[in-house]
Amino acid sequence: MLSHNGPGGWARRHFLAALAAGPAGAAAAQPLAAHLPEVMARPGGADLPYGLPAPQESYVERTLSTTAGFPVWRTPLQHQRGIITPSGLHFAVHHNGVPDIDPARHVLRLHGLVNKPLRFDLEGLMRYPMVSRVHFLECAGNSAANALSPTALDQTLGDIAGEVSCSEWTGVPLAYLLNEAGLKDGAQWVVAEGADGGSHSRSLPLKALLQDGMVALFQNGERLRPSQGYPMRLFMPGWEGNVNVKWLHRLEVTDAPAYTKDESGLYTQVLADGRIERFAFHMEVKSVITHPSGQQRLPEPHGFYEIAGLAWSGRGRIVRVDVSVDGGRSWAAAQLHGPVLDRAFTRFTLPWQWSGRRADLMSRATDEHGRTQPLRSEWKRRYALHSFNHYNAVQAWRVQPDGRVENVYA
């Protein structure tokens, strides 16, 4: 059922012949002037000091959901092509709104089990050596509805799984700051606190922070935006979103976790046998087909389509994505597009000749540690019925004979 032909193969030639013969096909030779669009008859308009998308693209925006009790802004992944999410479309979950922080007065304190407590203002921090890395960021609760809802909701990809985005993050490695403060015996954890009205705070293992942690100051080349923690946030590649504390103003080195409200309640996970999975930081290997995806419609009931999607893993690089167009009975290896980066979105594609019949599309990613996505039924067996964090099961889309695409549990 899968077409393994590339653009030069049968599927493509078939598609191209249809294209040439159809309304989009070749026009008979006409004087060029007859083709000149009217817009070329007048001078163009002005540009802006800070550019914006075309007005015609204003439908591409984050969607707001408040069903969780707090605002959740989701990335419209069904419109994204490429691995970089525009900063204006990066997902955000706010437990206490977006604080309006004066960067000139903002201070980051580093204290607790250290030899020399330190304070950093922004000017001071900007002088430290910085690293830049492209990484995804995903909310622990991304795809919660697929985990919880007994029947698959008919939604767009963004509304289902848009609490994940990918950016280039630049900032100061935490190791520099922690080593400068000097760690005392017994130092094992760090409690990070945000300067928001609810003091959002999480406990993180010191060892991992020393290895990978960053105080992020820049996103996609410019300073963090308010929605992403301006003027600074904690960044831990591959770890669930809410530990990447926004509006970071305090790091306390401790000998044990603080069991803050934010890590003792919402962001824990109950297993099927009743035990609680606490401090499960890593986001697991996952993928979604972005084209075609929920509520899109294939424009013609036969022909060539490129199946395209994004894959990521909180534990390392993606090494393989398999795609099925028959609900998981057979699979074909998708092409991975470079650069394939550690804990970053990886774009994959597969050419597909659609027969016009109902087709269930699925993608299943595997990372460099051999971890692969479970089916939904497998994921549900592992966790309690009401659990939803870290949902990474295979996403299935049903293409109906009329071309409409729907979320299904397959």
**Choices 46-54, 153-161, 232-240, 256-264; region in contact with a copy of itself by CB under 8 A:** 46-54
Q: Binding of a copy of itself at residue 21 (CB under 8 A)? A: no
Interacting positions 180-199 with a copy of itself (CB under 8 A)? 180, 195-197, 199
Q: Give whichever of 61 and 277 is closer to a copy of itself, judged by the CB atom.
A: 61
> Could you tell me if 248 and 108 are in contact, meaning their C-beta atoms sit under 8 angstroms apart?
yes
Q: Give whichever of 80 and 395 is closer to a copy of itself, judged by the CB atom.
A: 80
Q: Binding of a copy of itself at residue 119 (CB under 8 A)? A: yes
Instruction: Out of 56, 66, 67, 151, name the contact with a copy of itself by CB under 8 A.
Output: 56
CA torsion through residues 263, 346, 383, 389, sign: positive
Q: Binding of a copy of itself at residue 69 (CB under 8 A)? A: no
> Could you tell me if 310 and 346 are in contact, meaning their C-beta atoms sit under 8 angstroms apart?
yes
Instruction: Out of 127, 185, 329, 370, name the contact with a copy of itself by CB under 8 A.
Output: 127
Q: Give whichever of 37 and 274 is closer to a copy of itself, judged by the CB atom.
A: 37
Residues sharing a CB contact under 8 Å with residue 133, sequence separation 6 or more, in sequence order? 168, 169, 170, 214, 237, 342
Q: Which run of H or E residues covers position 108?
A: strand 107-112
Instruction: Out of 92, 318, 336, 394, name the contact with a copy of itself by CB under 8 A.
Output: 92
**Choices 74-82, 279-287, 361-369, 391-399; region in contact with a copy of itself by CB under 8 A:** 74-82
Q: Give whichever of 231 and 241 is closer to a copy of itself, judged by the CB atom.
A: 231
Q: In the bound complex, what is the minimum distance in angstroms from residue 185's beta carbon to a copy of itself?
A: 19
Instruction: Out of 101, 266, 270, 375, name the contact with a copy of itself by CB under 8 A.
Output: 101
Interacting positions 219-248 with a copy of itself (CB under 8 A)? 220-228, 230-231
Q: How many residues bind a copy of itself (CB under 8 A)?
A: 116
Interacting positions 347-376 with a copy of itself (CB under 8 A)? 347, 349, 351
User: In sequence order, what DSSP letters do the residues of 188-239 get, joined into one string?
Assistant: -EEEEEESSTT--EEEEEHHHHHHH-EEEEEETTEEPPGGGTTT-EEE-TTB
Residues 93-110, buried b or exposed e (16+ Cβ, 10 A)? bbbeebbebeeeebebeb
Q: Binding of a copy of itself at residue 31 (CB under 8 A)? A: no
Per DSSP bridges, beta strands 107-112 and 248-254 are parallel
Q: In the bound complex, what is the minimum distance in angstroms from residue 381's beta carbon to a copy of itself?
A: 35
Q: Give whichever of 101 and 266 is closer to a copy of itself, judged by the CB atom.
A: 101
**Choices 112-120, 235-243, 266-274, 402-410; region in contact with a copy of itself by CB under 8 A:** 112-120
Q: Which run of H or E residues covers position 262?
A: helix 261-264
Question: Quick one: three-class SS letters along 131-155?
Answer: EEEEEEEECCCCCHHHHHCCCCCCC
Q: In the bound complex, what is the minimum distance in angstroms from residue 203's beta carbon to a copy of itself?
A: 16
Per the DSSP assignment, residues forming a β-bridge with 347 are 310, 337
Inter-CA distances, 198 with 38, 217, 229, 347, Å: 55, 22, 14, 37
> Could you tell me if 243 and 235 are in contact, meaning their C-beta atoms sit under 8 angstroms apart?
no
Interacting positions 141-180 with a copy of itself (CB under 8 A)? 168-170, 176, 179-180
Q: Binding of a copy of itself at residue 131 (CB under 8 A)? A: yes
